[in-house]
Structure 1
Amino acid sequence: MTRTLQCTVLDCPRPRELAAFYQALLGGEVDRADPRWSLDDDWSTLHLPDGGVLAFQRAPGLRPARWPDPARPQQLHLDIAVDDVKAAERDALAHGAKFLRYEEDWGVYEDPAGHPFCLVPE
């Protein structure tokens, strides 16, 4: 039996906007035609250069995580490996990320929908 992770899905209020944010950070193609799902105002995808897929699903009442507040935990976050954390940070902030704090040699940020993510050295 073959088992493969199809995609990672992030809930958010505006799927296409969040897909464009992650495209600016990771590259790839937003809303490429794919027979596995339909694309509409409630669902957007980002096909990554390495073959992975991030998907974004509309969740109008989403209450963003407040890391590190345990009352509103992150539940999931993305670690993005970069060759230059400071350069990647400047790019992320320019595209709408919010800086949260540094941990050793990596940074912790929040995407425009409130999901925490980390920029970590390769």
Structure 2
Amino acid sequence: MALAKLGVVVLDCPDPGALAGFYAEVLGGTVEGDGKGDWVDLTVPGGQAMAFQRAEGHTAPQWPRADSNGQQFHLDLTVADLDAAQEGVLKLGARLLDAGEPSRTWRVYADPAGHPFCLCAG
């Protein structure tokens, strides 16, 4: 028997409203509230809830690094068309970190606050 149930994935960032807006565009979710506070929720229909918390002095993770400023986790986002999804996230402010070989079925990006995420062909 499990001891707990995952409630929400929370990302620390300098601007919760802006980062929630980025992920709402990527995942098709709805930002709850006005997006101006220190905590912003994102509801994703049929998906895992996310939240974004203001962290003063936020330092973006560095990818790939194994020390204390390195990646601590990342999100894998499944997409139908890898090239189209890449074009979309780049227009929204993501940054390509690792395109890999042309035959590879995933690519690594940083969101506008620097958190790494992967687009994975599905």
Which residue is 2:82 aligned to? 85
Whole-angstrom distance in 2 between the partners of 1:28 and 1:53: 9
1:51 Cα deviation from its structure 2 partner: 4.0
Tell me if structure 1 keeps the 8 A contact 2:107–2:118.
Answer: yes
Stretch of structure 1 that moved more, 112-121 or 1-10: 1-10
Which residue is 2:24 aligned to? 23
1:4 Cα deviation from its structure 2 partner: 1.8
The answer as to 2:112 corresponding to 1:112 is yes
Whole-angstrom distance in 2 between the partners of 1:111 and 1:20: 11
Stretch of structure 1 that moved more, 85-94 or 98-107: 98-107
Equivalent residue for 1:54, pick from 33, 40, 50 = 50
Whole-angstrom distance in 1 between the partners of 2:56 and 2:111: 16
| Identity rate, percent | 47
RMSD: 1.7
- Unaligned 5+ runs, structure 2: none
Whole-angstrom distance in 1 between the partners of 2:81 and 2:111: 19
1:66 Cα deviation from its structure 2 partner: 1.0
Task: Supply the AA of the counterpart residue of 2:93.
Answer: G
Q: TM-score, normalised on structure 2? A: 0.88
Distance 1:53 1:99, change over 3 A: same
Runs of 4+ in structure 1 over 2 Å off: none
Number of matched pairs: 116
Tell me if structure 1 keeps the 8 A contact 2:16–2:36.
Answer: no
Per-residue deviation, residues 1-25 of structure 1 (Å, max 9, x unmatched):
7732110000000001000000110
